[in-house]
């Protein structure tokens, strides 16, 4: 294969020479018919929003409105020091409320001072200080870095005070109401209610709307907006030929029924929901989230009412008799970054996960920057730190862990989760075994001895936690820490040596120095991580082929001398042992473990997620180096699959008698269980109870056998199922306190919080449950002022590039004001009245005359509306990253339109994951590309490693999705052109499209060239090239033909990219030439932009 740089270096010179910049010149005039106006013309502004909206200028006799004229000035210049947060409030003056502004704030003993004296600007300190001649007294202060108010702002403040200084509730905190449709002059232009509001603003500026876009532009625009895919030439031609009055409506209705509509709508929600295929923290391991992504696609395709969409994602698990889909929906709030870093503190990350949910839910549904109140009262919005933690308390009782397992497939963790079986029969069996376990559990709970067992277990758990909390933490998290009752001891042998011995002799031998062992240690524990449990099989019944013993014999010695041939100084006796095998609860006499009887061998069940051996010795271990090393030797069964993996073995010794002596005699058989991980004990509590009851003589043997068999069957079914993280409440809510400065370990115990919503947003109905379900009901309550507004604004943004409120993530005091407040409220109320019908909303937007306008920038608005805030023309927008790729694949014929399924790994640069990984041998350490149709799936199905997103997507502003993103950036960089010219995806698509047009238009080169160029252009841009564009394309094609004809190796090299087959019968020079021209067209503004 030729070097890509040498091949493209030559042809790139041709491209520059022939085009001469023609593909990038500015737009010269309006479009007409179905022909393009030029190869690189742009027809809209590229100016981004300024980030600050000035208060509206007023007519001399107009009434000043606090929300729309005054508050933007005060919020930008005053509230940081004179606002909601008492901790940063200067001079005791508060300007965000009428009471604060009109109250005497002078220190005691001084003359009264009032910031605002309604009706009298001259007596108002606010007016005096913003006009003060003394720089030391001028407001805002010079040191604040804020500029002095301009004359327009000063005039607004003065007039507002003179008119009585009326304060109002923040505009977005008032429930929306429909107003009457504005009167307009050009009634013939109006298509539906939306247009009244838009046209009224345009006509108020003394002009009218833009002309309607031609039909070819319109069908490409609406097809891309509703499906993310381009229309086919056949679809374009059919629409152009349809002269019926409702031809456009028919196109819209067809697109809304397309399965690709759900994909397009879901992509926006994936950004909001921080969707990814990995954990985002630390090693960034794989997590299976794609079933939730597919649920989102189905929800939009089925037009699930948006209120149900909210409720199911926030609290589907809390609905009465929830379906699997309703539980799956709650994965929305498990998409947050997750850590599995050794040493991470569980409690710290539980707080982080809850805080992430506060940020995501408040941003996505309320348009509030609530996260700003985590460490202190919000500086601008009326959200206190107490209200923040009240909101957090809705998400603080999830039955989850902070520190995830290193490998979620093989180890306990990722709790809670649901299992999705590969077929209906297995799913029914999985559900049945789960239900059987519930029934057995209920049966156990109903017997008398169960209460006695629970009482005893609770007593020893509490005692044990109080006695040795550090020991418990050190054991389970595998940390190299020490304390008075335990020590972590180093294994002298390397892991490679241990593995070699295992292979050669079937033994695992550990030589351990006792130099740092605690005095009197008599408890030894060995913990194996990362075991291939799915390969070990069901070991409860050793008579079956599935059952495999792990360890049959065990030796414990004190040894001296060289490691290869040590001298056994002393053989240590074992009083009793415990292991995480089928007899989970009871410790057993040592004699039963080491008697050459396979029936008493230590075994591993698929229901267990860790292998733990614990031994209590007859006597204490020596604690000096002179007395030798401790050697543990495990004799493995012949077919044992017990592996040794890096950092996966930990050995501990402890003072067992001190640790366990407090145990009640009634639970003495369970004494060693006290050292088991809490998760193991919780998961097998019923089995502990059953085994204990048998030991006490209760008639529970049959129940114990049924429990064991059902448990094994259940876990075996889970081995082949897909595991997805979902939400699940704890049995009892976790108490929530305000955290000092947001620190997880600094709860203010004197400031507990209840589950309530911020006062400024209204109260939660007392009939709603005080949990996530109640919160969801409050969000969709018709009295909630924000949810419907925020939603319709985001969908307006989806279509027009900017929302009616441009700060779609912030409807608070610092957010921008809506350009059309009455339209926003109309859409919000109409949306709720429609039953939260998303398809109806989208249909209304794209059927409006506003949407159908040309995308031609209008010079007459350069002063009045330079950023096109009032939609005097349709705003052009570059396609999202995924759709640029989809467009190229669809035009080439390579696109595989399959909907849903596991994420795929198409082309990306070699070594990228390795550069960004902390662990090369992890499941995301090395990128392994897929083959076949998975190379050509839609961009939204590309595997999303959040630490290293697909670089092709990043170049076109796709976010990493580590946090909630409401609006993507929209940049223009040279890197984007380089991606389109050099990325394998686009080079292969260029070749495939060239092959496609040659197959569809066979014939001699000279006689077919024009038609082939037109076909290529139509596939990518949706329209025919203009005469000027055609001339440039033809010149480029003829020049590149000469270059390739002169060097056939360069032609072959240019065609070599990608895995799709090359047409062996095609003329190599012709194919390379047309592929090169297709590559140039793919770079056109017309191709990657939606007009």
**Res. 268: pLDDT tops 60:** yes
Q: What's the pLDDT at 674?
A: 39
CA dist 1015 and 684 (Å) reads 67
Q: Compute the distance between CA of residue 837 and CA of residue 305 in angstroms, rounded to an integer.
A: 5
Q: Encoding tokens for residue 994?
A: 């060239």
Report the pLDDT value the prediction gives residue 27, as an integer from 0 to 100. 30
Angle between helices 259-272 and 247-257 (to 10 degrees): 60
Whether the link from the prior residue into 953 is cis, omega within 30° of 0, is no
pLDDT at res. 341: 80
In three-state form (DSSP H/G/I as H, E/B as E, the rest C), the secondary structure along 953-1017 is HHHCCCCCCCCCCCCCCCCCCHHHHHHHHHCHHHHHHHHHHHHHHHHHCCCCHHHHHHHHHHHHH
Phi, psi (deg, nearest 5) at residue 190: -70, 130
* 47 vs 404, higher pLDDT: 404
Q: Which parts of 816-896 fold into alpha helices (H)?
A: 821-833, 838-847, 881-892
pLDDT tens-place string over residues 931-957:
999 999 999 999 999 999 999 999 999
For the purposes of burial, counting CB atoms within 10 Å of the CB of 799, is it exposed (0-12), middle (13-18) or buried (19 or more)? buried
| Predicted confidence (pLDDT) per residue in 92-139, tens digit | 899 999 999 999 988 888 889 999 999 999 999 999 999 998 888 899
Please tell me which of 473-487, 677-691, 722-736 the model is most confident about, judged by mean pLDDT. 722-736
The three-state (H, E, C) secondary structure of 125-175, written as one string: HHHHHHCCCCCCCCCCCHHHCCCCCCHHHHHHHHHHHHCCCCCCCCHHHCC
Gap between the Cα atoms of 273 and 523, Å rounded: 48
Question: Per-residue pLDDT for 448 more than 80?
Answer: no
Task: Give every CB contact of residue 507 below 8 A, 6+ residues apart in sequence.
Answer: 501, 633, 634, 635, 636
Between residues 19 and 197, which one has the greater pLDDT? 197
Task: Kindly provide the b/e burial profile for residues 901-920, where b requires at least 16 CB atoms within 10 angstroms of the residue's own CB.
Answer: ebbbbbbbeeeebeeebeee
- 88 CB-near residues (< 8 Å, 6+ apart): 80, 81, 376, 379
d(CA 219, CA 251): 8
For the stretch 878-919, pLDDT in tens is 999 999 999 999 999 999 999 999 999 999 999 999 888 888
Q: What percent of the chain has pLDDT over 90?
A: 58
Q: Which of 264-268, 306-310, 370-374, 666-670 has the lowest mean pLDDT?
A: 666-670
Residue 41 pLDDT = 37
Q: What kind and span of H or E run contains 465?
A: helix 448-467
Q: Is the pLDDT of residue 362 over 50?
A: yes
Side-chain half-sphere CA neighbours of 93 within 13 A: 21
- Does residue 248 surpass a pLDDT of 90? yes
Note the pLDDT tens digit of each residue in 520-532.
777 676 655 433 3
Q: C-alpha distances in angstroms, 795 versus 266, 329, 798, 856?
A: 12, 21, 5, 23
**E-state strands within 536-647:** 549-560, 567-571, 574-579, 588-589, 602-603, 611-617, 629-636
Flag whether pLDDT at 446 surpasses 60. Answer: yes
User: What 3-state class would DSSP assign to 261?
Assistant: helix
pLDDT at 625 over 90: no
Residue 259, both tokens: 């399965």
- 3-class state of residue 878 by DSSP: strand
Band (639; pLDDT cuts 50, 70, 90)? very low
177 confidence band (pLDDT: 50, 70, 90): very high
Pairing of strands 523-528, 649-654: antiparallel
Cis check: omega of the bond before 775, within 30 degrees of 0 = no
Q: Which residues contact 859 (CB under 8 A, 6 or more apart)?
A: none
Rounded mean pLDDT of 207-212?
95
Residue 649, SS3?
strand
What size, in residues, is the chain?
A: 1091
Find the mean pLDDT for residues 305-312: 99
* Residue 212 DSSP symbol: B
Residue ranges covered by each domain of the chain: 4-20+982-1090, 66-167, 187-262+786-861, 264-423+729-757+765-779, 447-696, 877-971
* Helix H or strand E segment including 418: strand 417-420
d(CA 290, CA 296): 10
Write the CB contacts of 90 (distance below 8 Å, at least 6 apart in sequence): 81, 82
pLDDT of amino acid 463:
40
Residue showing tokens 């985002």: 280
Least confident interval from 225-234, 553-562, 832-841 = 553-562
Query: Which bin fits 900, alpha (ψ -120 to 50), beta or left (φ > 0)?
Result: left
pLDDT, position 919: 80
Top-confidence residue, 649 or 396: 396
Element (H, E) at 650: strand 649-654
β-pairing, 486-488 vs 567-571, is unpaired
| Tens of pLDDT, residues 572-614 | 776 555 554 433 333 444 443 444 444 334 444 433 444 556 6
Q: Residue 23 pLDDT more than 50?
A: no
Average of per-residue pLDDT values in the chain: 81
Instruction: Say yes or no to pLDDT of 508 above 70.
Output: no
Q: Which residues contact 940 (CB under 8 A, 6 or more apart)?
A: 228, 263, 266, 267, 270, 882
How large is the average pLDDT for residues 464-488? 38
Range from 30-39, 57-66, 417-426, 916-925 carrying the lowest mean pLDDT: 30-39
| Res. 56: pLDDT tops 50 | yes
Q: Across residues 233-242, what is the average pLDDT?
A: 97
Q: Which pLDDT score is estimated for 626?
A: 62
- The H or E element that residue 877 is part of is strand 877-878
C-alpha span between 452 and 442 (Å, rounded): 16
pLDDT tens digit string along 854-885? 999 988 888 888 999 999 999 999 999 999 99
Q: How confident is the model at residue 455 (pLDDT cuts 50, 70, 90)?
A: low
Distance between CA 336 and CA 381 in Å, rounded?
A: 25
Q: Is 722 helix (H, G, I), strand (E, B) or coil?
A: strand
What is the reported pLDDT for 327?
98
Output the pLDDT for position 693.
56
* SS3 at position 45: coil
pLDDT the model gives residue 483: 43
pLDDT of residue 827: 99
- Determine the 3-state secondary structure of 818 from DSSP: coil
- Closest by CA position to 875, among listed 803, 811, 778, 947: 803
Number of H helices, E strands in the chain: 39, 17
The span from the CA of 673 to the CA of 687, in Å, is: 12
Model confidence over 1026-1049: pLDDT tens digits? 999 999 999 999 999 999 999 999
Which of 512-516, 540-544, 681-685, 960-964 is most confident? 960-964
Q: Which of helix, strand or coil describes residue 563? A: coil
Answer yes or no: is pLDDT of 783 > 50: yes
Residues contacting residue 1027 through CB under 8 Å, at least 6 positions apart: none
**Residues whose CB is less than 8 angstroms from the CB of residue 61 and which lie 6 or more positions away in sequence, other chains included:** none
Ranges 56-65, 289-298, 407-416, most confident:
289-298
pLDDT at 306: 99
Per-residue pLDDT tens for 1073-1083?
999 999 999 99
- Residue 964: exposure state from Cβ atoms within 10 A (0-12, 13-18, ≥19): buried
pLDDT band of residue 410 (cuts 50, 70, 90) is: very low
User: Could you tell me the pTM of the whole model?
Assistant: 0.81
DSSP 68-117: IIIHHHHHHHTHHHHSS-GGG-STT---SSHHHHTS--SPTTSPP--S--
């Amino acid at each position: 294969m030729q070097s890509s740089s040498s091949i493209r270096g030559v042809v790139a010179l041709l491209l520059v020479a022939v085009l001469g910049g023609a593909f990038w010149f500015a737009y010269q005039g309006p479009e007409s018919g179905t022909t393009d106006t030029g190869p690189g013309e742009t027809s809209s502004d590229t100016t981004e929003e300024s980030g600050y909206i000035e208060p509206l200028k007023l007519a001399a006799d107009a009434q000043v409105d606090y929300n729309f004229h005054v508050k933007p000035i005060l919020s930008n210049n005053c509230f940081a020091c004179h606002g909601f947060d008492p901790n940063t409030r200067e001079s005791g003056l508060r300007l965000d409320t009428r009471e604060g502004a009109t109250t005497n704030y002078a220190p005691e003993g001084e003359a009264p001072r009032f910031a605002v004296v309604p009706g009298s600007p001259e007596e108002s300190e606010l007016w005096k200080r913003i006009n003060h001649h003394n720089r030391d007294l001028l407001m805002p202060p010079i040191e604040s870095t804020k500029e002095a108010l301009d004359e327009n702002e000063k005039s607004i403040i003065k007039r507002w005070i003179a008119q009585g200084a009326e304060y109002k509730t923040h505009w977005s905190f008032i429930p929306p109401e429909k107003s009457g449709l504005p009167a307009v002059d050009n009634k013939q232009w109006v298509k539906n209610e939306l247009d009244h509001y838009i046209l009224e603003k345009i006509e108020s500026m003394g002009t009218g709307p833009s002309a309607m876009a031609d039909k070819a532009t319109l069908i490409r625009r609406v097809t891309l907006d509703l499906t993310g895919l381009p229309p086919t030439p056949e679809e374009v031609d059919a629409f152009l030929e349809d002269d019926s009055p409702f031809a456009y409506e028919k196109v819209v209705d067809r697109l809304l029924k397309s399965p690709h509509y759900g994909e397009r709508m879901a992509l926006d929600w994936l950004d909001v929901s921080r969707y990814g295929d990995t954990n985002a923290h630390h090693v960034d391991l794989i997590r299976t989230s794609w079933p939730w992504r597919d649920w989102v696609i189905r929800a939009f395709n089925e037009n699930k009412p948006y209120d149900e969409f909210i409720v199911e994602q926030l609290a589907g698990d809390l609905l009465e008799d929830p379906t699997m889909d309703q539980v799956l929906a709650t994965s929305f709030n498990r998409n947050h970054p997750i850590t599995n870093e050794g040493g991470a503190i569980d409690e710290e990350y539980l707080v982080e996960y809850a805080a992430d949910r506060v940020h995501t839910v408040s941003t996505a549904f309320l348009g509030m920057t609530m996260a700003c109140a985590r460490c202190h009262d919000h500086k601008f919005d009326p959200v206190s730190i107490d209200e923040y933690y009240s909101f957090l308390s809705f998400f603080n009782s999830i039955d989850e862990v902070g520190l995830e397992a290193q490998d979620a497939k093989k180890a306990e963790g990722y709790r809670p989760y649901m299992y999705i079986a590969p077929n209906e029969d297995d799913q029914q069996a999985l559900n049945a075994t789960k239900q059987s376990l519930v029934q057995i559990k209920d049966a156990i709970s109903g017997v008398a001895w169960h209460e006695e067992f629970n009482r005893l277990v609770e007593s020893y758990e509490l005692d044990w936690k109080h006695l040795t909390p550090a020991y418990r933490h050190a054991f389970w998290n595998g940390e190299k820490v020490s304390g008075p009752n335990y020590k972590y001891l180093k294994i002298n042998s390397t892991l490679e040596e241990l593995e070699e011995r295992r292979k050669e002799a079937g033994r695992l031998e550990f030589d351990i120095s006792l130099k740092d062992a605690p005095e009197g240690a008599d408890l030894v524990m060995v913990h194996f991580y990362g075991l291939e449990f799915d390969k070990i099989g069901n070991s409860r019944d050793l008579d079956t082929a599935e059952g495999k013993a792990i360890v049959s014999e065990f030796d414990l010695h004190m040894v001296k001398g060289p490691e290869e041939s040590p001298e056994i100084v002393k053989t240590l006796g074992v009083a009793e042992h415990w292991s995480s095998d089928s007899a989970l609860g009871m410790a057993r006499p040592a004699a039963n473990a080491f008697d050459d009887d396979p029936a008493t061998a230590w075994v591993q069940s698929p229901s267990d997620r860790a292998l733990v051996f614990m031994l209590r010795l007859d006597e204490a271990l020596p604690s000096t180096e002179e007395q030798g090393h401790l050697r543990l030797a495990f004799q493995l069964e012949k077919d044992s699959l017990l592996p040794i993996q890096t950092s996966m073995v930990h050995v501990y010794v402890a003072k067992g008698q001190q640790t366990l002596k407090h145990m009640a005699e009634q639970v003495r058989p369970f004494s060693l269980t006290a050292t088991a991980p809490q998760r193991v004990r919780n998961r097998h509590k019923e089995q502990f109870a059953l085994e204990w009851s048998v030991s006490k003589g209760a008639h529970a043997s049959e129940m114990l056998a049924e429990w064991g068999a059902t448990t094994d069957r259940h876990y075996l079914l889970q081995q082949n199922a897909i595991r997805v993280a979902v939400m699940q409440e704890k049995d009892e809510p976790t108490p929530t306190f305000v955290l000092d400065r947001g620190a997880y370990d600094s709860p203010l115990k004197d400031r507990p919080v209840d589950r309530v919503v911020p006062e400024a947003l209204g109260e939660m109905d007392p009939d709603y449950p005080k949990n996530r379900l109640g919160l969801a009901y409050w969000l969709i309550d018709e009295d909630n002022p924000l949810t419907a507004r925020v939603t319709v604004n985001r969908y307006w943004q989806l279509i027009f590039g900017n929302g009616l409120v441009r700060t779609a993530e912030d409807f608070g005091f610092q957010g921008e004001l809506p350009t059309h407040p009455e339209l926003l409220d109309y859409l919000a109320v109409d949306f709720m009245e429609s039953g939260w019908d998303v398809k109806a909303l989208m249909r209304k937007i794209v059927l409006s005359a506003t949407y159908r306008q040309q995308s031609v920038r209008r010079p007459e608005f350069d002063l009045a509306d330079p950023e096109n805030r009032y939609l005097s023309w349709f705003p052009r927008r570059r396609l999202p990253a995924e759709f640029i790729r989809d467009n190229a694949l669809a035009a080439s014929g390579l696109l595989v339109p399959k909907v849903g399924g596991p994420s795929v790994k198409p082309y990306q640069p070699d070594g990228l994951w390795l550069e960004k990984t902390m662990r090369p041998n992890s499941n995301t350490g090395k990128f392994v590309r897929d083959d076949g149709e998975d190379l050509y799936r839609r961009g939204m199905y590309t595997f999303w490693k959040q630490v290293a997103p697909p670089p092709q997507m990043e170049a076109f502003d796709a976010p990493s999705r580590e946090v909630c993103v409401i609006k993507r950036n929209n940049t223009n960089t040279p890197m984007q052109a380089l991606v389109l010219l050099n990325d394998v995806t686009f080079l292969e698509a260029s070749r495939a499209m060239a092959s496609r047009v040659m197959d569809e238009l066979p014939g001699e080169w000279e006689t077919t060239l024009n038609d082939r160029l037109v076909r290529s252009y139509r596939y990518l841009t949706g329209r025919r090239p203009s005469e000027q564009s055609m001339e440039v394309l033809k010149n480029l094609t003829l020049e590149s033909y000469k270059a390739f004809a002169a060097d056939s190796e360069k032609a072959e090299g240019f065609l070599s990219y990608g895995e799709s087959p090359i047409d062996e019968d095609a003329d190599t020079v012709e194919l390379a030439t047309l592929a090169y021209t297709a590559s140039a067209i793919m770079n056109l503004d017309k191709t990657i932009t939606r007009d």
